[in-house]
Chains A and B, each alone.
Chain A
Amino acid sequence: MAVYEHHYKPYEGQLTPTWSRFLVLPRYAYQDLLKYKFFIGFLVACYICPLIYTVLIYLHHNASALQLMDLNPRDLVPINGMFFSIFTGIQTTLAFIFTVVIGPVLISRDLANNALPLYLCRPFSRLEYIIGKMSVLLILLSLITWVPGLLLFFFQSFLEGGSWLVDNWWIGRAIFLICVAWIITLAMLAMAFSAWIKWRTAASAALFAIFIIPTPIGFAIQGILGTTKGHLLNLSVALSVLNIDLFRLDPDDKLFSTGEAWIVFFGYAALCLFMLSRKVRAYEVVS
């Protein structure tokens, strides 16, 4: 390394492809996160449930192991939509906790340190910045939600045979769609709050509030007006509606239609994008 050459010189080497530069941000973010034992511990804890599910699926297909443990296959939980729905529920909850821990500092630190001009004076757009920051959460949350979910699904298909995969493809679709909708919404909410609320604790509290406050409002509207449409503000309810529909559970538990649930997700995403577009700028302009 020519650190002894103390003179200015232009760079004439190869450049990385423009499309891949947003990935620099998650790489640096993970380098920082991996310094914390809490983060590593929690990440490991997120794989306890997939491990248990792997054992359960394995036991279903291993008669000798069941015999050894003195268990009857009928005593085990059936592997069906409900089985994977519970798995998805657990992992999406863990994803929420991860988001509350990591999300609030993603943009607020850059805003507090006036770092946005440094990013945006380079061949790096606002959109790339947002995608880069969002991918910190998206990659991480994918690793604990739909990736292990689909691995379990394919593991079950592998053990059960190709016909099970053909008959139950909708389970794989449900795992993927529910997790993706959830983690994108969580990531966008975390980013939007991070951009608008500089205080980390307040941003975390706001993330909790967005899931807690709509519940009493929804029930109050239901009580007064007799309509369940008041729950349309509630992301948790929208998630449960998708869960019921895509995992083919009891439709009587649905508080509104699947289309309305998608609208809730898209609505929140649009609101977050608007909030981000207002805040993620090199400098704020006062007209």
Chain B
Amino acid sequence: MNPVIELDQLRIEFGKRRILHDITGTLRGRCIGLLGPNGAGKTTLIHTLLGFHPPTSGTARIFGRDIRTEAKAVRTLIGYMPERDSFIANLTCVHFVRLMAELSGLPPEAALERAHEALFYVGLGEARYRKLGTYSLGMKQLAKLAQAIVHGPRLIFLDEPTNGLDPPARKRMLELIREIRDSGDAHIVLSSHLLRDVEECCDEILILKDGHIAANCDLEAERRANRKFIELETRNATPAFTSAIGSLGCDYAMTGEQRMKLVLQEGLEVRDLYQLAAANNVQIRRLNFKRDSLEDIFLKAME
């Protein structure tokens, strides 16, 4: 897959404070999760990619276009849903979204049509003629999403899209994000503190820590790799059983008297473990495919 975002020695300084330290990396995911503790530089990175802050040195490219030299061309390709409430006063939602579409270059008629479509798509169709000031927090989040997608961007930055949403609204928002991702027409960069949201939507993550890249991994590949890790809880396990597992060529470690973790070697199946247990008169009481959760990956990156 072609790179979506390429970071090339990107450095951002505000005065004497360095926020991003010469970060380099390539992001290709359909939905890219941007994670990191507060102050890690996530928002600064998004703002830089949007062209709000000029890089101190280095650069970044979005779909191969340089954010320094082709800022306007880059911004035609992207949509942005900010974290904080961002509106234009005294406008109905449909006028607001239409205005945003027109500013993105759509002719007035097309902008109006797309505004209606976007509002129906996010679920605000019935409320589109209400003024934004009368909207609930959940509706405002959806209106922000509508303005971010109205012009059909190829890359959408979503900054904390589920902030302050109740569970049904959060579920709806995540569904929309997944739908957009699965449509194949747009890539998404999702910045969130909620690891579960990122885990549910993203196929690639970039973890920032103190302005450095702490981890950049393909979640799908990680998930596939993790299928080989197994957690085993047994009864009547004997040293003969554990050594038999070792003789199969599996790396293992005892995590308790009757518990062990092992890495299943290529060519071996779970069935082989059961056969081994039966041969050694050992009961397998529990068998889990241990999978590094995003939390594990995040905590590992923070070490």
Contacts and interface: CB of A to CB of B under 8 A. Distances in A.
Interface residues of B, number: 54
Contacts of B102: 16, 21, 24
B183 interface: yes
A123 B117 contact: no
B91 to A, nearest CB: 8
Interface residues of A, number: 42
Contacts of B153: 10
A93 B78 CA distance: 45
B86 A3 contact: no
Most buried by B among A12, A15, A112: A15
A7 interface: yes
A269 to B, nearest CB: 25
Contacts of B14: 285-287
A287 B152 CA distance: 35
Interface string A89-101: 0000000000000
A16 B89 CA distance: 25
Nearest to B90: A32
A216 interface: no
A287 B12 CA distance: 12
Interface string B123-164: 001000000000000000000000101011110010000000
A287 B86 contact: no
A162 interface: no
Interface stretch (B27-35, B45-53, B259-267, B283-291): B45-53
Contact of B86 (A12, A15, A21, A115): A115
B152 A124 contact: no
B47 to A, nearest CB: 6
Given A10-B152, A110-B89, 6 more contacts: A7-B183, A11-B110, A24-B102, A118-B88, A121-B79, A124-B103
Interface of B: 14-17, 47, 50-53, 72-73, 75-76, 78-80, 82, 84-91, 95, 99-100, 102-107, 110, 113-114, 116-117, 120-121, 125, 147, 149, 151-154, 157, 179-180, 183, 185-186
6 contacts: A8-B179, A9-B152, A10-B185, A28-B99, A117-B86, A122-B76
